[in-house]
Amino acid sequence: MKDKSYALSNVRPWGAEPVDILIEGDRIAGIRPASKAEAGDVDGNGLLAMPGFVNTHAHVDKSWWGKPWVGYTYSDRPTVEGWIANERAQRDKYGVPNAASSAAVLRQFVRNGTTATRTHVDVDLGVGLRGLECVEAAKAELGDAIQVETVAFPQDGVLRRPGVMQLLDEAAKAGADNIGGLDPGTIDGNVEAVLDGLFDIAVKRNVGLDFHLHEFGSLGVYEFRQVMRRTIDAGLQGRVTISHGFVLGTLPQNVQEEIVEKLAEAGVSWTTVAMGGTAPLPWQQMRQRSVPLGLGTDGTRDLWSPFGDGDMLRVAHQFARLSGLRHDDKLLAAVELATKGGAHFVGRDVHDLVADSRADIVLVDAENVSDALIRCPPRKLVISGGRIVARDGDVLV
């Protein structure tokens, strides 16, 4: 149906009154009052319609989704360094990375209504650029069922592993959309030198930057400020993201406000996976200052954790609970973060159920958006770029 025109009839966008969504090719052409489905149309049966979910922080190269269950064997009190070492020691045993598992994860995303994702992909001395090659192969296998943006991610550090900076440059040259970084203060012990190198590559290769920052205390705040300052100095406003940034939620309100103001000034965006046990982010201040904030699944059944099912509605649910949200307008905001709020992270100006937006649509059997968020019902129909890609849990690509 990708190249055809048809109506998705009798659906309720964001829980509103029933309408028909007119689709031409891969775009939404318009909205009209609900009418009886005609030949060639798709009957939405009065279901709730939302834009496709956008998973702004994933790791599809690390997973063995689709393979037999593997029990978690690492420490119950892990550290980032310990997780890294464990993954490096075990990944070959489980065939990580491989294109089949990456494709299986992407299909799981589609099954759950995700139509666009940004995935970090390990780049290190052991795996080279093989992870990126696997993800590109998986991406090609699914075609336009899901948009995939990549981040070349130095999980094992940069400076402490001579040659990784060059690998990141090669990844950017080869087509990675972004390059990443990880806790430069503790992993590499030199915030300035790591950021200098990464920003230089981003400018030279015209790619974005997406940093995993987990550090707490003054070091975490210092890294935020360094990233924001360098973003302005490099002219990369709108192309830099901080992922996780757990310390932000722990800071005094005046410091939070200062950082959010600087994020807005620098055009730096933020992603969170709403990890349990972390302090809630000042998401309302971010929204007021137009700081893009996206939600993501993080890993999905890998050497870091047995958890994860690729369901962004469930992540929005988790974000709402972590943030103490109860009222309908706040629950709606959580779902908006997981859908139209993710547009920035995959290079879209608009991602919504409106004319001229890409026709990415998810239907669920729910009374309203709040009901959908609380129950996380199965996705009845998933449309990506005007094409039906999943129906009642069956992925059609």
**pLDDT given at position 73:** 85
Rounded (10°) angle between helices 312-322 and 328-338: 140
CATH architecture of 5-51+353-395: Roll (2.30)
- Average pLDDT taken over every residue of the chain: 97
- pLDDT-derived band at 45 (thresholds 50, 70, 90) equals very high
- pLDDT-derived band at 78 (thresholds 50, 70, 90) equals confident
CA distances from 198 to 172, 203, 238, 243, 395 (A): 11, 9, 16, 16, 38
Answer yes or no: are the C-beta atoms of 197 and 188 closer than 8 Å.
no
**pLDDT given at position 4:** 84
**pLDDT given at position 264:** 99
CA distances from 114 to 125, 270, 322 (A): 32, 19, 22
Q: What is the dihedral of CA 303, 114, 205, 221, to 10 degrees?
A: -60
One fold for 5-51+353-395 and 54-346? no
On the question of pLDDT at 124 being above 70, the answer is yes
The tokens of 156 are what?
Answer: 């094992």
**What residue ranges do the domains of the chain occupy?**
5-51+353-395, 54-346
Residue 313: strand, helix, or coil: helix
Percent of the chain whose pLDDT exceeds 70: 99
Residue 52: strand, helix, or coil: coil
Distance CA 353, CA 366 (A): 17
On the question of pLDDT at 2 being above 60, the answer is no
Q: What would the pLDDT profile of 23-40 be if each residue is shown by its tens digit?
A: 999 999 999 999 988 888
For residues 166-194, give the mean pLDDT.
98
Distance CA 98, CA 67 (A): 11
On the question of pLDDT at 137 being above 80, the answer is yes
On the question of pLDDT at 3 being above 70, the answer is no
Answer yes or no: are the C-beta atoms of 230 and 194 closer than 8 Å.
no
Question: If we measure between CA atoms, which residue out of 155, 73, 147 comes closest to residue 122?
Answer: 155
Distance CA 210, CA 196 (A): 14
For residues 122-132, give the mean pLDDT.
98
On the question of pLDDT at 111 being above 70, the answer is yes
Q: What would the pLDDT profile of 213-256 be if each residue is shown by its tens digit?
A: 999 999 999 999 999 999 999 999 999 999 999 999 999 999 99
- Phi then psi for residue 113, to 5 deg, are 95, 5
pTM of the predicted structure, to 2 decimals: 0.97
Alpha helices (H) in 67-190, listed in sequence order: 80-90, 99-111, 130-142, 164-174
On the question of pLDDT at 1 being above 60, the answer is no
CATH architecture of 54-346: Alpha-Beta Barrel (3.20)
**pLDDT given at position 76:** 81
Answer yes or no: are the C-beta atoms of 385 and 359 closer than 8 Å.
yes
